[in-house]
Structure 1
């Protein structure tokens, strides 16, 4: 999922990873297009925002370069189209903080108009929590001069509405300091002055309330040469007379429940989803009744997220209180911490930023309390391990949790597992045909066998064939044997990079074991053969294989628990690493041991 943030420093994250956009010019182009997305922005408008009328001779070329860089960085979820002398940005699946702010703000203003003060507080707090400072930080000065005022005005209007709703709920003690700060930032805003005076008076600080009025009167006279409005004068008089009409109402409980539509955060499932005829009905049967926790696990590139989203959309009607999606970035170097994950989930359920508990335990309790009241579907994508996800499981009989992970998650209590491996021959051929339109059964089977029918590899090859009509299946197969990972990389789809991230998470001992096993053993092999090759005991070899299997870099084969195999593409990657990382004498010694076998060596028990 891609997320755009404009209400503060301009930031973009994709699948939990922050993108390095570059300098102010490229950020300005992005912000300009986002603020007018789904509408064509002319070249002249973009140029004005970048150079304020002082156009360089290469302005058009520079804009094209910025747009091209944005296309490559943002990926296929964002469409940047050249149209009618300008550019059009479409991102229907993207999350934009400005959109979220406007939605919460509109809901809050409507609730305030309808005297639903608690609902107004909930929505307006959620709106204010999206701001991280001044809007559009990082853009050119001219863009901020043009766009900041209207955004800041909307923020202030939402703030005033929030303070009005809080006071209507009897929360004067809660907001009196917030209003003092707002007066300091906006000394000419009479509405803010009036709200601050009322809060101070209700807190028993009559003198300070009157002093606030006097300061406002002096400020208006000095700056603008005018007096306060009649409404503010009337409020001052009512405070002087201690008018009973100013008495605070009975406090109204403000809950953290969302007042608008339930969250619907599922990214779209692939429109050309193929196969998994066995797994889909199994997962449907587990999730649909509610109260289930299940995981789709397997090697990188096996289509875990695609399957999870396919089934999540199929059962979403059974979870009317919302569907939450969170990428936990478990396969990256910076997985999401449980406390951060809780904060995201709680915000999705309507908890304002200011009401988030500060500690992990408090956030967990609040999340479980809110989830217990709802029939939710929670998709936790790319789980790192059991310790990351265990605190996030809500329990209960209504909410279902669907996870994906490259690990087996065998130690996760109360969780069913679906292990994904490569496609069947029929599934792989079906997807390749659908993507490429090529029908060459013999060559296709040979090509797919070389990939171990890894779904991501099949998708890349199908897209490559579709993009190159003159390229034949036998030619791709020949290139694949010479340069496998070069052929299995297209756009942001990169099989080698996916395998590399799993390899990088192994300890040095496990990486060495994977390299030597891939170098010296083919097909199915036994624990004894692994022990011979690695020059280790049977116990140590078994532990290493089990650790590799935990990340699906090795697999138990068949019914016998002492036989293992390694996926062809994992083997190819690890062989390349062996030649790059292991000394020639180490490789030779390992190969000599396995070739000589039991005649020269017997592993320790």
Structure 2
């Protein structure tokens, strides 16, 4: 049996074994063939998806090579033939997640149209479960720009239909948080706003429902210069009047998951080209295997925390026969998951029916601890916001092990082993860059990697960019990185700048200002005293600001000291981002005053200067 997955990272499994496809080019060829299955894909289409007009002289030969490699990798279950200036893929026995999504989605939409709301929820939940993030991750940016919007629109339409069916079943308490998150991701989508308003109103949150309308009106006016549709205005008026027609159905039908005879196996796949981190893998393995261990992988955005967590989780999963659970807590977003939602999700994965789920977080925690005490479970909690989000989720004293990732240090969690991730070693970074791009130029490669301080996400993006553009050299990318770092460090949904921006946005205003001025005025390493002078703050205040930045890994203790004062450093990419923000946000006179303070302070510190 061969399985193709496009609704997330592009992956292929054959007879239960995952195939190592290679770089973005070959993944793009495969995805293009699957999206046009049973139709001929022309060489010109492949060229557009691979190079978009910047064709290398060997483009036809490269396409033939990619197809030949796919043919040998996929085996006899897949037919890949040359026809009429292109290629045709036939795989009648293959399972494709996109086909499955479309089938479930069509069934759900039809059931909703026929007012069979329970059936609609069942089908549309099944459709939703097939998505593992953004579609076509691993393909070139050219393919994703063409195909992702269409697929994401189908996903959103299915989600809207699901929420409509859930509300028709009277399940507003279940979906109100989901709808709030949808509004955050799609602020201009009026249908989503209306569904959220109705769910909030039915939950007794009339003021929030009206505030959702007001926010929609502002967004539409600012972004598009238009007013909300008449339907949304009418819903607002009905909420103001507490119109009886808005009440939930008299008979509430709860659609519940059925307990499964198979233990849950929810781990997303680990990267097939995972590189390095040998000592960290060994330490995590030792903590998790005995059962009942708790570990946290922490570090700056882009250091590969999730990749490491999934790698070790797959390595130890056989030690947890009662199930492996995975939950993305969205801690680095503006809408982190609430503990109540997290508990309910975990318990559903363990087979608990919705009708059996308590409404209070304390009771949910008690029920989860009971399950954890009776089973050998591995729970992976990805992207933790802070200690308060997960403290109740840690079962403690059971046979269940918990593995977390976070951009915060999480040092207040008792009984937790912390693994702090930084950049790759030089050997690890060079190995991954070469594996992704195929380019070997030790001198220029080291300059390129030094510019990113070997941040794993940056290395991955640069390797994929070089693989996607064979005529591009390491030397050229290094030059471009100097002029426009974050433009070069963005490919598809991999975006180093966006990751750093999210961490920056989560800071308080005084910490954001501190990071901007420190990045502008001090070279690494710098002392707490220098930070205090630059920021015009006391030593105590400067230390508190630096600790706040270090908690999110936006500044790092070097381990060295000047006298009794700690020395800190800032990652070069964080420094580049914060410096740009300084010129955008801080008035010239404030920047000048900060630089003058540190100049005068340096003269006091070193009279010979």
TM-score by length of 2: 0.60
**Residues 1-25 of structure 1, C-alpha deviation per residue, up to 9 Å, x if partnerless?**
xxxxxxxxxxx999xxxxxxxxxxx
Check if 1:260 corresponds to 2:264: no
**Which position in structure 1 is the counterpart of 2:377?**
376
Partner of 2:513: 512
Distance 2:585 2:294 in 1: 41
2:420 corresponds in structure 1 to: 419
Residue 586 (structure 1) aligns with: 590
Matches within 5 A, 1:114-153: 130=122
Tell me the residue number matched to 1:342.
343
Deviation at 1:414, TM superposition (A): 1.2
**Paired position in structure 2 for 1:556:** 557
Return the offset for 1:396. 2.8
Residue 569 of structure 2 corresponds to which residue in structure 1? 565
Matched, 1:597 2:574: no
Per the TM alignment, residue 257 of structure 1 is displaced from its structure 2 partner at its CA by 9.3
Judge conservation of contact 1:531–1:537 (CA < 8 Å) in 2: yes
Q: After superposition, what is the alpha-carbon deviation per residue over 1:323-375, rounded to whole angstroms, capped at 9, x for unaligned?
A: 00000000000000000011110100001112111111111111111111100
- Once the two structures are overlaid, the 10-residue window that deviates more, 393-402 or 441-450, is 393-402
Check whether the contact 2:104–2:126 (CA below 8 A) recurs between aligned residues.
Answer: no
SS of the equivalent of 1:295 reads strand
Instruction: After TM superposition, give the deviation of residue 98 of structure 1 in Å.
Output: 8.3
- Contact kept, 8 Å, 2:258 with 2:353, in 1: the verdict is no
Taking structure 1 as reference, are residues 39 and 547 closer, same or farther at Cα in structure 2, changes over 3 Å only?
closer
CA contact 2:535–2:594 (8 Å) conserved in 1 = yes
Q: Which residue of 2 aligns with 1:285?
A: 286
Unaligned runs of 5+ in 1: 1-11, 15-36, 44-60, 65-80, 103-125, 153-255
* Large movers: runs of 4+ above 3 Å: 37-43, 81-100, 126-136, 256-259, 598-602
CA distance in 2, matches of 1:585, 1:366: 58
SS at match of 1:570: helix
1:264/1:441 Cα in 2 relative to 1: closer, same or farther (>3 Å)?
same
Residue in structure 1 matched with residue 536 of structure 2 by the alignment: 535
Q: In 1, are the aligned partners of 2:102 and 2:127 still within 8 Å (CA)?
A: no
Q: How many angstroms apart in 2 are the aligned matches of 1:447 and 1:342?
A: 44
Query: Is contact 1:327–1:381 with CA below 8 Å preserved after alignment?
Result: yes
Equivalent residue for 1:204?
none
TM-score scaled by length of structure 1: 0.60
Q: Any unmatched runs of 5+ in structure 2?
A: 1-6, 10-32, 40-44, 49-79, 81-85, 108-117, 129-151, 166-256
Partner of 1:321: 322
2:77 aligns with: none
Please tell me whether residue 460 in structure 1 is matched to residue 464 in structure 2: no
Closer, same or farther in 2 for the Cα pair 1:98/1:354, shift >3 Å? farther
Q: How many residues align?
A: 404
Aligned CA-pair RMSD = 4.1
CA 1:589 to 1:356, structure 2 compared with 1: closer, same or farther past 3 Å? same
Higher radius of gyration, 1 or 2: 1
Query: CA distance change for structure 1 residues 363 and 542 in 2, over 3 Å: closer, same or farther?
Result: same
Q: 1:476 to 1:598 in 2, by over 3 A?
A: closer
Structure 1 residue 258: Cα displacement: 3.6
Name the SS of the counterpart of 2:278 in structure 1. Answer: coil
Q: How does 1:10-159 map to 2 (within 5 A)?
A: 130=122
Q: Paired residue for 1:444?
A: 445
Distance in 2 between residues matched to 1:532 and 1:514, nearest whole Å: 14
User: In structure 2, do the counterparts of structure 1 residues 311 and 338 end up closer, same or farther at CA, with 3 Å as the change threshold?
Assistant: same
Does the 8 Å contact 1:460/1:490 carry over to 2? yes
Could you say if the C-alpha distance between residues 415 and 375 of structure 1 is closer, same or farther in structure 2, counting changes exceeding 3 Å? same
Partner Cα separation in structure 1 for residue 280 and residue 399 of structure 2: 22
CA contact (8 A) 1:97 1:130 kept: no
The C-alpha deviation readout for 1:219-262, integer Å capped at 9, x for no partner, is xxxxxxxxxxxxxxxxxxxxxxxxxxxxxxxxxxxxx9944110
In 2: Cα distance, 1:341 partner to 1:482 partner: 43
Q: State the distance in 1 between where 2:466 and 2:358 align.
A: 52
Aligned equivalent of 1:354: 355
1:483 aligns with 2:484: yes
Q: Hey, what does 1:296 align to over in structure 2?
A: 297
Give 1:507 shift: 0.7
SS at match of 1:410: coil
CA contact (8 A) 1:325 1:378 kept: yes
Report SS of the residue matched to 2:559: coil
Instruction: Rate the CA distance shift 1:338–1:564 in 2: closer, same or farther, 3 A.
Output: same
Deviation at 1:558, TM superposition (A): 2.0
Measured in 2, the distance between the counterparts of 1:417 and 1:544 equals 22
Mapping of residues 224-239 of structure 1, within 5 Å: none
For residues 451-486 of structure 1, give each alpha carbon's deviation from its aligned partner in whole angstroms, at most 9, with x where no partner exists: 011000000001111111111111110000000000
CA contact (8 A) 2:296 2:418 kept: yes
CA separation of 1:311 and 1:13: change in aligned 2, threshold 3 A? closer
Relative to structure 1, is the Cα distance of residues 501 and 513 closer, same or farther in structure 2, using a 3 angstrom cutoff? same
Whole-angstrom CA distance in 2 between matches of 1:493 and 1:558: 31
Q: Compared with structure 1, are the counterparts of its residues 96 and 367 closer, same or farther at alpha carbon in structure 2 (3 Å cutoff)?
A: farther
> 2 CA distance for matches of 1:435 and 1:139?
31
Is the contact made by 2:457 and 2:496 (CA closer than 8 Å) also made in structure 1?
Answer: yes
Query: Structure 1 residues 365, 408: closer, same or farther in 2, change over 3 A?
Result: same
Alignment match, 2:311: 310
Query: Are residues 450 and 399 of structure 1, via their aligned partners in 2, closer, same or farther at CA, if it must alter by over 3 Å?
Result: same
How many Å separate the matches in 1 of 2:458 and 2:353? 43
Deviation, 1:278, is 1.2
Kindly indicate whether the alpha-carbon contact (under 8 Å) linking 1:324 and 1:379 is maintained by their aligned counterparts in 2. Answer: yes
> Alpha-carbon deviations, 1:103-147, whole Å to 9, x = none?
xxxxxxxxxxxxxxxxxxxxxxx99984789999x999xx99xxx
Rounded to whole Å, the distance in 2 between the matches of 1:333 and 1:87 is 42
Tell me how far 1:97 sits from its aligned partner. 12
Counterpart position of 2:133:
none
Q: 2-side partners of 1:414 and 1:511: how far apart?
A: 31
Structure 1's 490 and 598: CA in aligned 2 closer, same or farther, altered over 3 A?
Answer: closer
Q: 1:575 aligns with which of 571, 574, 579?
A: 579
